[in-house]
Amino acid sequence: MDLLSNDFPYASSALKGKHAFVCGASKGIGEATAKMLAKAGANVTVCARNGAALTELCATLSTLGDGRHQALMLDLEDTESIGPAFASATEALGPVHVLINNAGGPPGGPLLGNEVTDFEAPFKRHLHAAHTLVKAAIPGMEAEGFGRIVQIISTSVKEPIPNIGLSNTLRGAMASWAKSLSNELPPCVTINNVLPGFTDTERLGNLSASIQERTGKSADDVRSGWLNQVPIGRLINPLETASAITFLCLPASGGIRGVSLAVDGGRLRSI
């Protein structure tokens, strides 16, 4: 499956002239989303703490479409730096039309193993950063008459996942925040969530290693345990998740607002 070439699901001009701001873009789903948005014609600002990875990604984005792209080193836990960084991005590429809120999840483990202080950094990185970015982006989106905001969170907002209690708590807060905002944002601006399932990323590898250490299971046993829960019988390709995210960013998706869309191969048992 090569969703960036012959299988690319959208017109290469679908987001032409739009400025997309993608957080957590140095790897995984964030990186895949930046590529998919660039392929759809957007100008893309890619953000993360890893400057070298962002520079390399921008070079790749330039081969995928005709847009202009820039790298922005940004620590989402440094709340005070977010506003100035966002302003610098708009100075270079104009108002942001598409905002992708995405960041690495907190460490795994049972919720009772966490202290109150353990919540501070993850909530800054996710909820506080997303809220700060939305407040910065809305004036420009409203002036442009177009805005799309997408959070990359987790299927745990529907069904909590064992042994990642802090992440479950955080993702639930993000989903409730977004649903509340869906009733407050201007009519031309939508906000939605994408809920990745078992996706072939570094994050999943880290969770596998944590499970192996805690239970003594082999990597193959952990993987088999996951795949037995997924009707399609495989891990999700990050570009598949990015394809769903990009769909929610299109002009044609303006009627979709306040939803949480699972991209999980059918793993969720709830309706």
pLDDT at 209: 66
The helix-helix angle for 129-144 and 79-93 (nearest 10°) equals: 30
Tens digit of each residue's pLDDT (9 = 90 or more) over 25-51: 999 999 999 999 999 999 999 999 999
pLDDT reported for residue 4: 86
Which positions of the chain have pLDDT values less than 50? none
| Full-model pTM | 0.93
SS3 per residue for 126-175: HHHHHHHHHHHHHHHHHHHCCEEEEEECCHHHCCCCCCEHHHHHHHHHHH
3-state secondary structure of 260: strand
Centre a 10 Å sphere on the Cβ of residue 21 and count the other Cβ atoms it contains.
Answer: 30
Q: In whole angstroms, give the CA distance from residue 169 to residue 261.
A: 18
108, 53, 136, 203: CA torsion to nearest 10: -20
Q: Between 3.40.190.80, 2.40.70.10, 2.60.120.260, 3.40.50.720, what CATH number should domain 19-198+237-263 receive?
A: 3.40.50.720
Q: Structural domain boundaries of the chain?
A: 19-198+237-263, 201-235
pLDDT tens column, 106-138: 988 899 999 999 999 999 999 999 999 999 999
Contact residues for 225 (Cβ-Cβ < 8 A; gap 6+):
217
- On whether the CB atoms of residues 57 and 25 are closer than 8 A, the answer is yes
Closest CA to 155 of 269, 30, 28, 23: 269
